[in-house]
Structure 1
Amino acid sequence: MTLFDLLKKVIQTYDEILSQPHRAELAREIRDEEDLFMLLCFSEMLGIPNPAFYYTLELYPLIIERFHEWHIRMGMEKSPLDGVRCC
Protein backbone atom coordinates (compact mmCIF):
# COMPACT_ATOMS: atom_id res chain seq x y z
CA MET A 1 0.00 0.00 0.00
CA THR A 2 1.46 3.30 -1.06
CA LEU A 3 1.41 6.49 0.91
CA PHE A 4 -1.12 7.93 -1.54
CA ASP A 5 -3.51 4.99 -0.99
CA LEU A 6 -3.14 5.30 2.77
CA LEU A 7 -3.83 9.04 2.66
CA LYS A 8 -6.84 8.46 0.43
CA LYS A 9 -8.20 5.86 2.89
CA VAL A 10 -7.68 8.24 5.85
CA ILE A 11 -9.49 11.06 4.05
CA GLN A 12 -12.36 8.74 3.10
CA THR A 13 -12.70 7.54 6.72
CA TYR A 14 -12.61 11.13 8.00
CA ASP A 15 -15.32 12.13 5.53
CA GLU A 16 -17.53 9.22 6.62
CA ILE A 17 -17.10 10.16 10.28
CA LEU A 18 -18.14 13.77 9.59
CA SER A 19 -21.13 12.92 7.40
CA GLN A 20 -22.55 10.11 9.57
CA PRO A 21 -24.71 12.29 11.88
CA HIS A 22 -26.27 14.08 8.92
CA ARG A 23 -27.25 11.11 6.74
CA ALA A 24 -30.81 10.89 8.08
CA GLU A 25 -31.26 14.63 7.71
CA LEU A 26 -29.97 14.59 4.13
CA ALA A 27 -32.20 11.63 3.25
CA ARG A 28 -35.22 13.49 4.68
CA GLU A 29 -34.37 16.61 2.66
CA ILE A 30 -34.03 14.60 -0.54
CA ARG A 31 -37.38 12.89 0.14
CA ASP A 32 -39.06 16.25 0.81
CA GLU A 33 -37.71 17.67 -2.46
CA GLU A 34 -38.96 14.61 -4.34
CA ASP A 35 -42.40 14.98 -2.72
CA LEU A 36 -42.57 18.60 -3.80
CA PHE A 37 -41.53 17.63 -7.33
CA MET A 38 -44.23 14.93 -7.49
CA LEU A 39 -46.82 17.43 -6.28
CA LEU A 40 -45.72 19.89 -8.94
CA CYS A 41 -45.95 17.24 -11.65
CA PHE A 42 -49.37 15.92 -10.63
CA SER A 43 -50.90 19.18 -9.35
CA GLU A 44 -52.94 19.77 -12.53
CA MET A 45 -54.63 16.39 -12.07
CA LEU A 46 -55.37 17.24 -8.44
CA GLY A 47 -57.06 20.50 -9.44
CA ILE A 48 -54.23 22.85 -8.52
CA PRO A 49 -53.23 25.17 -11.39
CA ASN A 50 -49.74 24.40 -12.62
CA PRO A 51 -48.01 26.90 -14.91
CA ALA A 52 -45.36 24.32 -15.80
CA PHE A 53 -47.86 21.60 -16.80
CA TYR A 54 -46.72 21.53 -20.41
CA TYR A 55 -43.10 20.96 -19.38
CA THR A 56 -43.86 18.30 -16.78
CA LEU A 57 -46.21 16.35 -19.05
CA GLU A 58 -43.39 14.48 -20.74
CA LEU A 59 -42.02 13.36 -17.36
CA TYR A 60 -45.13 11.33 -16.45
CA PRO A 61 -43.96 8.01 -17.95
CA LEU A 62 -40.75 8.27 -15.93
CA ILE A 63 -42.33 9.09 -12.56
CA ILE A 64 -45.54 7.05 -12.70
CA GLU A 65 -43.70 4.08 -11.17
CA ARG A 66 -42.81 6.15 -8.09
CA PHE A 67 -46.30 7.64 -7.82
CA HIS A 68 -47.61 4.76 -5.68
CA GLU A 69 -44.86 5.19 -3.08
CA TRP A 70 -45.49 8.93 -3.04
CA HIS A 71 -49.24 8.83 -2.43
CA ILE A 72 -48.82 6.18 0.30
CA ARG A 73 -46.21 8.42 2.00
CA MET A 74 -48.61 11.37 1.72
CA GLY A 75 -51.23 9.37 3.64
CA MET A 76 -53.54 8.47 0.75
CA GLU A 77 -54.43 4.77 0.69
CA LYS A 78 -55.60 4.82 -2.92
CA SER A 79 -54.51 6.91 -5.86
CA PRO A 80 -56.09 10.38 -5.72
CA LEU A 81 -56.11 10.54 -9.50
CA ASP A 82 -58.90 8.92 -11.49
CA GLY A 83 -56.74 8.30 -14.55
CA VAL A 84 -53.82 6.74 -12.68
CA ARG A 85 -54.33 3.22 -11.38
CA CYS A 86 -51.34 2.11 -9.37
CA CYS A 87 -52.89 0.17 -6.49
Structure 2
Amino acid sequence: MTSRWASLRAGLEEFYAGPYRRTFARARREEDDLFRMVVLAEALGVPDPAAYYTAELVPALYEDFHTWHLRMGMDRSPLEHVGCC
Protein backbone atom coordinates (compact mmCIF):
# COMPACT_ATOMS: atom_id res chain seq x y z
CA MET A 1 0.00 0.00 0.00
CA THR A 2 2.84 2.38 0.82
CA SER A 3 4.49 1.84 -2.56
CA ARG A 4 1.23 2.74 -4.32
CA TRP A 5 1.03 6.04 -2.43
CA ALA A 6 4.70 6.72 -3.15
CA SER A 7 4.27 6.05 -6.86
CA LEU A 8 1.09 8.17 -6.97
CA ARG A 9 2.92 11.00 -5.20
CA ALA A 10 5.87 10.74 -7.61
CA GLY A 11 3.52 10.72 -10.59
CA LEU A 12 1.61 13.77 -9.39
CA GLU A 13 4.83 15.61 -8.60
CA GLU A 14 6.13 14.90 -12.10
CA PHE A 15 2.81 15.98 -13.62
CA TYR A 16 2.67 19.31 -11.79
CA ALA A 17 6.35 20.25 -11.39
CA GLY A 18 7.81 18.60 -14.50
CA PRO A 19 6.98 21.34 -17.00
CA TYR A 20 8.42 23.99 -14.68
CA ARG A 21 11.67 22.23 -13.80
CA ARG A 22 13.79 24.52 -16.01
CA THR A 23 12.08 27.62 -14.59
CA PHE A 24 12.70 26.43 -11.03
CA ALA A 25 16.37 25.75 -11.84
CA ARG A 26 16.80 29.23 -13.34
CA ALA A 27 15.13 30.89 -10.35
CA ARG A 28 17.35 28.95 -7.96
CA ARG A 29 20.47 29.93 -9.93
CA GLU A 30 19.44 33.60 -9.85
CA GLU A 31 18.88 33.43 -6.08
CA ASP A 32 22.28 31.79 -5.63
CA ASP A 33 23.90 34.51 -7.74
CA LEU A 34 22.28 37.23 -5.66
CA PHE A 35 23.38 35.53 -2.44
CA ARG A 36 26.93 35.22 -3.79
CA MET A 37 26.93 38.91 -4.73
CA VAL A 38 25.74 39.91 -1.24
CA VAL A 39 28.40 37.79 0.45
CA LEU A 40 31.21 38.97 -1.84
CA ALA A 41 30.12 42.62 -1.94
CA GLU A 42 32.85 43.84 0.42
CA ALA A 43 35.55 41.99 -1.53
CA LEU A 44 34.22 43.47 -4.78
CA GLY A 45 34.48 47.01 -3.40
CA VAL A 46 30.85 47.64 -2.51
CA PRO A 47 30.36 48.86 1.09
CA ASP A 48 28.53 46.20 3.03
CA PRO A 49 27.31 46.82 6.59
CA ALA A 50 26.89 43.06 7.15
CA ALA A 51 30.43 42.15 6.01
CA TYR A 52 31.36 40.99 9.49
CA TYR A 53 28.57 38.40 9.45
CA THR A 54 29.04 37.25 5.86
CA ALA A 55 32.84 36.87 6.06
CA GLU A 56 32.57 33.34 7.39
CA LEU A 57 30.49 32.30 4.36
CA VAL A 58 33.15 33.29 1.81
CA PRO A 59 35.09 29.98 1.89
CA ALA A 60 31.89 28.10 1.06
CA LEU A 61 31.50 30.16 -2.13
CA TYR A 62 34.99 29.58 -3.53
CA GLU A 63 34.04 26.19 -4.98
CA ASP A 64 31.73 27.63 -7.66
CA PHE A 65 33.36 31.05 -7.95
CA HIS A 66 34.86 30.43 -11.40
CA THR A 67 31.56 29.44 -13.02
CA TRP A 68 29.83 32.35 -11.30
CA HIS A 69 32.14 35.08 -12.57
CA LEU A 70 32.07 33.63 -16.08
CA ARG A 71 28.25 33.55 -15.99
CA MET A 72 28.24 37.19 -14.82
CA GLY A 73 30.32 38.16 -17.88
CA MET A 74 33.66 38.70 -16.16
CA ASP A 75 36.57 37.17 -18.09
CA ARG A 76 38.96 37.28 -15.13
CA SER A 77 38.40 36.93 -11.42
CA PRO A 78 37.36 40.30 -9.93
CA LEU A 79 39.08 39.44 -6.65
CA GLU A 80 42.83 39.79 -6.51
CA HIS A 81 43.20 37.13 -3.80
CA VAL A 82 41.19 34.53 -5.76
CA GLY A 83 43.14 33.37 -8.80
CA CYS A 84 40.89 30.84 -10.47
CA CYS A 85 41.64 31.64 -14.12
Deviation at 1:48? 0.8
TM-score, normalisation: structure 1:
0.88
- CA distance in 2 between counterparts of 1:40 and 1:67 reads 13
* Cα displacement string for residues 22-41 of structure 1 (whole angstroms, at most 9, x for unaligned residues): 11111011100100011111
Superposed displacement of residue 49, structure 1: 0.8
| Unaligned segments of structure 2, at least 5 residues | none
Corresponding residue of 2:30: 32
Counting only pairs closer than 5 Å after superposition, residues 54-73 of structure 1 correspond to structure 2 as 54-73=52-71
Structure 1 pair 82/4, CA: closer, same or farther in 2 (3 Å)?
Answer: closer
Distance of aligned partners of 1:8 and 1:65 in 2 relative to their CA distance in 1, 3 Å threshold = closer
Q: CA RMSD in A?
A: 1.2
Higher-Rg structure is: 1
Instruction: Using the aligned pairs only, state the percent identity.
Output: 44
**Aligned partner of 2:20: which letter?**
H
Task: Note the residue ranges of structure 1 that are not aligned, 5 or more in a row.
Answer: none
Deviations 1:5-27 (A, max 9, x none): 22321221121111011111110
Q: Scaled by the length of structure 2, what TM-score is found?
A: 0.90
